[in-house]
Amino acid sequence: MDAAADVSTSTKEAKESESSIDLLVIVLDTNPSQRIVRQNPQNLTQILEAMIAFGNAHLMQKAQNKLAVISCSHHASNFLYPLPGRQVEVRQIDGQYEVFSQVEKTIKQQLGNILMNAPRLSAPCESLLAGSIGRALCYISRLQRNTPPGIKMHSRVLVLTGSNECSSQYMTFMNVFFTAQKLGIVIDTCSLENPVSLLQQGCDITSGQFLKVTQLDGLLQYLLWVFLPSPQMRHKLVLPPPPKVDYRASCFCHRELIDIGYVCSVCLSVFCKYSPICTTCHTVFKAPAALPPKGKKKKKTEK
Ligand SMILES: [Zn+2]
Ligand SMILES: [Zn+2]
């Protein structure tokens, strides 16, 4: 009886997977001020190669699968693949599926153009990760709207970054994460730097997977092992346990992550210092009769 039930569920799953599209959007951080790129610019090439091989592995799993790649830097985020309208000319290579060479050529050519035309950096600058994830969500929702009826589309976003804390984009990040959660889009993160707590929060909110890769040489293996299986399959696999998520919020006044702060009772803005007027919604507060001595109640985080 059990075996029969197993067979019927597996055929059901197989049928379901045939009529569904898996869309993977990769957000690749190409910011030259990432530590890993500053150490050795060659590392970016290695990350790019691993990312292309991973994207092609996703396309290889099923003919209906779709891939999109967005690059994200300190000044802009751009689509690397697919490009609207025109296609890059690709010469047929014997024995290789044309789509794979198409993906590789398009991404490399496009990224080359972007890096050549990028403004010079005088000081390290944050990557616009939150904006790029937002762009990925817009793209996903557009494709979802155009999906023919009867076909289900499972979408997810993979962020591949070596950037450190980006607390100045706190609000954008939170908006993006809760939108993704509402749309049922999983956000995964593969981090090449010290855990980025905001991205950890995003993975936790959207039930995605967070992984910190310490060895760049094994990047492709890690990507294939942890991020290739679709989120629906993951409960059947033994994956790295989720990290303990640091749920600190960043204050609206200095954009720094804080443990304890003041919260506006009207708009829920967070501040590290007491102020009589909320700078977000302009509500005026009565000063408490006896304000607790400064320094005792508030606690700033030390980096
Ligand atoms: Zn502050
Ligand atoms: Zn307020």
Same domain, 50 and 175: yes
Residue 270 Cα, ligand 2 centroid: separation in angstroms?
9
Same domain, 29 and 138: yes
Same domain, 273 and 154: no
- Find out whether 225 and 66 touch, Cβ atoms under 8 Å: no
pLDDT digits (tens, 9 = 90+) for 40-82: 889 999 999 999 999 999 999 988 899 999 999 888 899 998 8
Tell me the ligand closest to 253's alpha carbon. 1
219 lies in some domain? yes
pLDDT for the residue 198: 85
Same domain, 154 and 216: yes
Tell me the ligand closest to 265's alpha carbon. 2
Residue 268 Cα, ligand 2 centroid: separation in angstroms?
6
Between CA 242 and CA 246 the distance in angstroms is 12
Q: Decide which of 214, 236, 258 is a domain's last residue.
A: 236
Same domain, 74 and 105: yes
Nearest 5°: the CA angle 79, 82, 83 is 70
Neighbours of ion ligand 2 (CB under 5 A): 264, 266-267, 269, 278, 280-281, 283
Between CA 106 and CA 95 the distance in angstroms is 19
Domain of residue 135, CATH code: 3.40.50.410
Residue-range definition of the domain harbouring residue 166? 16-236
Between CA 128 and CA 224 the distance in angstroms is 26
Residue 201 Cα, ligand 2 centroid: separation in angstroms?
23
Six-digit token string for 301: 């985080």
209 lies in some domain? yes
Helix axes 42-61, 98-117, angle to 10 degrees: 150
Residue 262 Cα, ligand 1 centroid: separation in angstroms?
10
Q: In what order do the strands lie in the sheet with 210-212?
A: 77-81, 66-72, 20-29, 152-161, 186-191, 210-212
Number of compact structural domains in the chain: 2
Same domain, 117 and 158: yes
Same domain, 216 and 255: no
Mean pLDDT for each consecutive 10-residue tract of the chain (303 residues)?
55 66 93 87 92 94 92 90 75 78 89 87 84 94 90 92 80 91 94 83 91 90 93 87 80 83 86 87 78 56 46
CA-based radius of gyration for the chain: 22
Nearest to 196 by CA among 225, 222, 169: 169
Q: Decide which of 185, 207, 236 is a domain's last residue.
A: 236
Q: Decide which of 196, 211, 236 is a domain's last residue.
A: 236
Between CA 126 and CA 124 the distance in angstroms is 7
pTM: 0.81
Same domain, 78 and 120: yes
Q: Find the DSSP H helices in the chain.
A: 2-18, 35-39, 42-61, 98-117, 129-145, 170-183, 197-205, 219-222
Other Cβ atoms within 10 Å of 272 Cβ, number: 21
Same domain, 169 and 287: no
11 lies in some domain? no
